[in-house]
Amino acid sequence: MKTILAPIVAISLACVPAVAFSQVSISAGAEFTSGKFGDPQKTDSWTVPIGLKYETGPLTFRLTVPWVQVKGTANRETGETITSLVNASTPSQFIRGDGSNECLVSGSGKPEDNPPAGCPNTGATTVTTTTTTTTTPIVTRVPQSQSGLGDVTASAILMVLDPSKSLVGLDLGGKVKLATADRDKCLITTGENDYSAQAELYQTFGKFSPYLTLGWTKKGDPELRDGTCTKLGGRTNFRNPWYAGIGFSYKLSDATSAGLSYDFREKLLSGSDPVSEASLFVSHKLAPNLKLQVYGIAGFSDNSPDWGLGATIGYTF
């Protein structure tokens, strides 16, 4: 799933012209999200990403390594909830002595007081009774606590049109999410690689900097898991979704900017919801090379968290 920080970084790039020299930036952050994702149980997630950015001329490369802690039943990336299949007894069966007929009886194994036609009654003496127990899966969701390093994300972006020289700026890029996290932790990772391609349009009009993003993801199909993340066999057949983002930044002063962004991603499964969430952020330069951003998240679908808060700090060498 496209991270909520991507539009914020994109807006920051909107005012950066292509330069001949290279520069390196590092960043660290913390994000908390909470939501039910269409499930009765609540899922709380902490993400602490460490980022590295390298810019050289019109090219920008990024690498992000997150630490993740999740408590609940939902995978934050996909919105899927884990399920636990629990065996439960169904009513026993009353079987005629010749084995030619079966009649449902109570859970105690005794014949029903009013058996269906063709079944012996409680006073029958020419039959034997046998009780059998069958099982049927009952879906329950048991909250889990998982933590550890998450999946590494790497991206490369090429500035095709410089906004200072063209009517609009245009970036083309690709991103890969590498399944480097522990595959047994199905709330943290899908265990599969994802590949994305996107285009981004942006421009600056005085203090106002809008942007528009459109992208597509080749989604890896994860293995089916139960409530303890144990493999059940088979795979979830995810769709390859389109995603889009729109937003703006407004310069409040030389050091401070604020903005709003909205992100949408198509549903991954026919019966699921799309991603639909907005973010409000404020960015402030603490020093010429040091920037702090704080933001809030609001979700509008079952595949988005209900709310979230985060902050990131970055230093440019």
220-259 pLDDT per residue, tens: 998 887 777 788 778 888 999 999 999 999 999 999 999 9
In a domain, 41, yes or no: yes
In a domain, 86, yes or no: no
- pTM value is 0.74
CB of 12 closer than 8 Å to CB of 53: no
Count the Cβ atoms, other than its own, within 10 Å of residue 116: 9
Question: Is the pLDDT reported for residue 313 higher than 80?
Answer: yes
- As for how many domains the chain has, the answer is 1
In a domain, 91, yes or no: no
- The pLDDT confidence band at residue 126, using thresholds 50, 70 and 90, is very low
In a domain, 85, yes or no: no
Q: Which residues pair with 297 in a beta bridge?
A: 279, 308
Residue type, 206: G
In a domain, 21, yes or no: yes
In a domain, 141, yes or no: no
In a domain, 275, yes or no: yes
163-167, 224-228, 277-281: range with lowest mean pLDDT: 224-228
| Alpha-carbon span 278 to 308, nearest angstrom | 10
Between 135 and 26, the higher pLDDT residue: 26
Residue 32's domain spans which residues?
Answer: 5-80+148-316
| Whole-Å CA distances, 124 to 30, 75, 92, 96 | 72, 56, 18, 10
> What CATH number does the domain containing 308 carry?
2.40.160.40
Give the tens place of pLDDT for each residue, 26-53.
Answer: 999 999 999 998 888 899 999 999 999 9
* Tokens at 126, concatenated: 């020419």
- The pLDDT confidence band at residue 100, using thresholds 50, 70 and 90, is very low
Question: Is the pLDDT reported for residue 280 higher than 60?
Answer: yes
Top mean pLDDT of 98-102, 128-132, 294-298 is at 294-298
